[in-house]
């Protein structure tokens, strides 16, 4: 489902790892100025620095077979709010990416920092297995990836909480049996938090799940209905005309017409029609990175190009009717050549090879880096693709039966992405991925509970009305289960809108919900000490 500094009031963006055919992670919600220095020091304001400390935890490779082996799992912490013996711990569930990209969660610029300050606790960020410096194997194949699954990822959290020796807690007074541990996450990591509660209850006292993509879905085409609703009306009208035209041209199989269309986007060398149709979805997918405080979003930037209002344009703005098909194609094509291609491709390499399609092409399995880069730090989202193909999380954002918006080609389908699983993960020593073994999204939902997690005590759910990942959350309009407690739907909210304090400063309703979340979490934490009959560490 990955994506993302509040620290410098910069634009928030999702770390979208996109395959050549447009498959997208839910996204690690990380402020884009959060890259740490070698000393893990990040400036929070002009007068104060927050120092993050890092260590490694010896984690089991396979929790179903502990003697199988171990790997080192990185974690960071900030104990500036920690009140001493028996104080709470706020653990950030791992995002689907390098843990260094999550370090902003250790500050008061995020809701987790607000939790920690309110309850007098420390914050810990744990890196996900198989990402960053926390991979048991250097190469990611169908054989070595067998231990990257929801079962092990949730077990990692429990095993870590029960066994880690924290530098700031020499007496082990803040173990889960002695102090409340709060598990928090956003997007996929929010789902990990919820799944941990559902599959492995009893270690964590309370949970915060922001935009948690808990339901594995074979089809998430309704996500584009949300993106379309966020578009200006002229842009929506023109986009629908463009996509209808694209489908007409591609399905009629006229070579010259198809070549001319692809050349308009700088993708004339792209032979595969389905891959070309998929790449065109990258524009609407930019809505995932929107936050209240960003103001001018990447989706609206794209729409300005579509409406011929690119930088330096002398065209007059139009009304709701838009600019029409031909001008819209000119504008979107220009957006691809000036924005999308430079963002996604190695421009020096493209110039050398005179090939503007190679970075999007999935045609050549043997030479394409999409398939051939097996490294842990690959840029093609290989680990996420494995989870999608193996668990299977699926949840492909494509065209499909639930898409009524008409802004994505009907040639871009979930089936086309499923078929790529075999190209990504050929069988190695009889090891393959879940879909190849007839595993389904329903199987994963049966394990986790999906939209209906069952045991959901002291779990707060926060979702956005206009979040493209809303269909996979407990606020999905498709969900028919019994009502859950502590569910907050942020009006006009986007992906994980509650996470960033700046959103609450820009939008009063978000601020009200954030304060309510902090208050409720404080109450839940206090209940632990009352129930245990232990004295609560003093707070400011």
Among residues 3, 134, 187, 475, the one annotated as catalytic is 187
SS3 state of residue 30: strand
The angle, 0 to 180 degrees and rounded to 10, between the axes of the packed helices 441-448 and 150-163 is 30
* Catalytic (active site) residue 355: no
* Catalytic (active site) residue 497: no
CB 463 within 8 A of CB 490: yes
Residue recorded with tokens 């802004």 = 407
CA distances from 441 to 215, 387, 392, 395, 456 (A): 8, 11, 5, 9, 21
Whole-angstrom Cα distance, residue 357 to residue 341?
Answer: 9
CB 537 within 8 A of CB 84: yes
Among residues 109, 219, 467, 498, the one annotated as catalytic is 467
Whole-angstrom Cα distance, residue 463 to residue 469?
Answer: 9
Whole-angstrom Cα distance, residue 124 to residue 130?
Answer: 19
CA-angle at 109, arms to 104 and 115, nearest 5°? 95
CA distances from 304 to 11, 267, 316, 464, 468 (A): 18, 21, 11, 25, 21
Residue recorded with tokens 């709010």 = 81
Locate 65 and state its tokens. 């077979």
Whole-angstrom Cα distance, residue 205 to residue 153?
Answer: 18
CB 173 within 8 A of CB 179: yes
CB atoms within 10 A of CB 526: 15
Q: Which residues are identified as catalytic? A: 187, 467
């Amino acid at each position: 489902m990955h994506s993302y500094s509040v620290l410098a009031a910069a634009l928030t963006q999702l770390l979208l790892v996109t395959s050549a055919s447009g498959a997208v992670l839910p996204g690690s919600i990380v402020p884009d100025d959060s890259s740490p220095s070698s000393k893990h020091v990040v400036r929070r304001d002009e007068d104060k620095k927050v120092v993050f400390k890092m260590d490694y935890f010896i984690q089991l490779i396979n929790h179903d077979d502990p003697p199988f082996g171990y790997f080192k799992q990185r974690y960071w912490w900030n104990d500036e709010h920690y009140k001493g013996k028996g104080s709470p711990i706020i653990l950030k569930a791992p995002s689907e990416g390098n843990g260094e990209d999550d370090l902003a969660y250790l500050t008061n610029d995020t809701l987790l920092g607000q939790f920690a300050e309110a309850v007098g606790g420390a914050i810990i960020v744990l890196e996900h297995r198989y990402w960053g410096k926390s991979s048991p194997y250097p190469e990611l194949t169908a054989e070595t990836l067998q231990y990257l699954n929801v079962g092990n990822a949730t077990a990692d959290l429990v095993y870590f909480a029960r066994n880690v020796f924290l530098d700031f807690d020499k007496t082990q007074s803040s173990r889960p049996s002695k102090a409340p541990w709060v598990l928090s996450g956003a997007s996929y990591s929010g789902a990990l938090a919820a799944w941990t509660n559902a599959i492995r209850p009893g270690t964590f006292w309370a949970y915060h799940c922001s935009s948690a993509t808990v339901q594995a879905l074979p089809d998430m085409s309704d996500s584009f209905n949300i993106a379309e609703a966020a578009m200006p009306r002229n842009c929506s009208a023109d986009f629908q005309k463009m996509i209808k035209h694209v489908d007409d041209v591609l399905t009629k199989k006229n070579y010259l017409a198809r070549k001319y269309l692809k050349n308009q986007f700088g993708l004339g060398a792209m032979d595969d029609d389905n891959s070309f149709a998929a790449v065109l979805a990258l524009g609407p997918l930019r809505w995932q990175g929107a936050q209240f405080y960003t103001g001018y979003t990447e989706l609206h930037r794209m729409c300005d190009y579509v409406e011929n209002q690119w930088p330096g344009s002398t065209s007059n703005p139009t009304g709701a009717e838009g600019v029409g098909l031909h001008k819209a194609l000119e504008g979107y094509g220009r957006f691809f050549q000036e924005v999308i291609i430079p963002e996604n491709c190695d421009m020096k390499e493209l110039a050398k090879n005179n090939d503007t399609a190679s970075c999007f092409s999935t045609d050549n399995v043997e030479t394409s880096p999409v398939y051939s880069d097996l490294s842990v730090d690959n840029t093609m989202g290989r680990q996420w693709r494995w989870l999608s193909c193996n668990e299977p999380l699926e949840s492909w954002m494509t065209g499909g039966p639930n898409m009524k918006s008409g802004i994505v080609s009907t040639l871009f389908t979930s089936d086309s992405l499923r078929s790529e699983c075999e190209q990504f993960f050929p069988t190695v020593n009889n090891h393959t991925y879940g879909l190849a073994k007839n595993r389904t999204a329903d199987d994963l939902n049966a394990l986790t509970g999906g939209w209906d997690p069952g045991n959901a005590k002291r779990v707060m759910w926060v979702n956005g009305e206009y979040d493209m990942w809303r269909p996979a959350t407990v606020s999905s309009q498709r969900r028919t289960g019994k009502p859950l407690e502590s569910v907050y739907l942020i009006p006009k909210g986007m992906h994980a809108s509650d996470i960033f304090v700046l959103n609450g400063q820009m939008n009063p309703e978000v601020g009200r919900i954030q304060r309510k979340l902090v208050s409720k979490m404080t109450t839940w934490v206090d209940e632990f000490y009352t129930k245990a009959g232990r004295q609560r560490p003093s707070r400011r």
